[in-house]
Amino acid sequence: MGQGRILIIDDDPDITEAMTVVLENKGYEVRGAADGSEGMDRIKESRPDLIILDVMMRTRQEGFEFARELKGAGEYKDIPILMLTAVKDKTGLDFKANAGDQAWLPVEEFLDKPVKPNVLLEKVQTLLAKR
């Protein structure tokens, strides 16, 4: 298994590929999904140790909805979520202060896109170390 299993749920294949390269080079096993529905299928197939989740996919709030659904599901609620998004650039809203709010935004960490590889790796390592 190496460093751990990571699932990236993002509708931008270029971003998914870039993060996959960075993470696989550090020994992580990485799978991708283009939306929440595909992401849930991947989780059921091979439970990840960490989820990297985009906000805006099929809808502007799909990532938020997915996070609330996952954290409400008993058997998956302990999987940490690192939310990455360009929502701040597109809307001017900054959700970092709300990360961890179990009712509204139940994610462990929140980073703005684009994220630098070293910042991504640092957050991933921190989240996996807490497990």
- Kindly tell me if the per-residue pLDDT of 122 is higher than 80: yes
Name beta bridge partners: 83. Answer: 53, 110
Q: Do 63 and 53 contact (CB within 8 A), yes or no? A: yes
Residue 121: CATH number of its domain = 3.40.50.2300
Give Cα 32 distance to the centre of its chain. Answer: 10
What global pTM score does this model have? 0.86
On the question of a cis peptide bond just before residue 106, with omega within 30 degrees of 0, the verdict is no
Question: What is the number of structural domains in the chain?
Answer: 1
pLDDT digit string, tens, across residues 43-88: 999 999 999 999 888 877 888 889 999 988 789 999 999 998 775 5
Q: Which residue has the tokens 């996919």?
A: 57
Give the domain range for residue 80: 4-129
Helix 36-45 / helix 62-72 crossing angle, nearest 10 deg: 30
